[in-house]
Structure formats: structure tokens, C-alpha cells
Amino acid sequence: MKLGTWLFALISPAIGRILTALGFSVVSILGMEALLGQLRTSLVSGLGGMSVDLFNVFLLAGGGQALGIITGALTTKLLLWQVQNATKILGVNPG
């Protein structure tokens, strides 16, 4: 057996797993991006129906920052979930 053939036979399963994990990551990240975009659009349309005075009180109370913190937490949780699933696909057991 030649050295190149042996190395390819050794590395090809790992390459397949890595490509599978990357494909799964891209699909789920794009799906979550679309989901968060719809959530953001829904929040903006819901807040657009408020009166101006009520909207100003909402912003003065920190409502904009609260929405940013909540969407950031959701994004972080989904990212951590994605990393955990990618390591399961790659065969690495983190814990």
C-alpha cells in the first residue's frame, strides 16, 4: 500500500464528519437567523402600534436594552446548542 493511499484512507472519515458538521451548522445557523429576523420584525410591528407617549416611557424604562439582552441570550443559547451538536457529530464528547 502506498503512503498517499494509506493517509487518504486514514483521513477520509474525519473529513466526512467535519463536512457533515459544517453543513449542519450552516443550515441551522441560517434557519435561526431567519427565525430571529421574524421575531425582530414581530417585535418592531408590535411596538409600532403603541402610542408615542407609551413608547417613550417604554424606552426610558430600558425596554430597548431589555429586548437586546433577551435576543442576545437567545442567540447565545442557540450558538452553544449548535456547538454541542457539532461536537456530537464529530465524535468528540465534551463531558
Q: What is the pLDDT of residues 75-88, one digit of tens each?
A: 888 878 877 776 66
- CB-facing half-sphere around the CA of 54: CA atoms within 13 A: 6
Q: Is the pLDDT of residue 92 over 60?
A: no
- Which alpha helices (H) appear in 1-62, and where do they start and end? 3-48, 52-60
pLDDT in tens, 18-73: 766 666 666 667 777 788 888 888 888 888 888 999 989 999 999 989 988 988 89
First vs last C-alpha separation in the chain: 38
What predicted TM-score, i.e. pTM, was given to this entire model?
A: 0.55
Q: 94 and 87 in contact (C-beta within 8 Å)? A: yes
The kind and range of the H/E element at 66 are helix 63-90
- Position 47 scores a pLDDT of 83
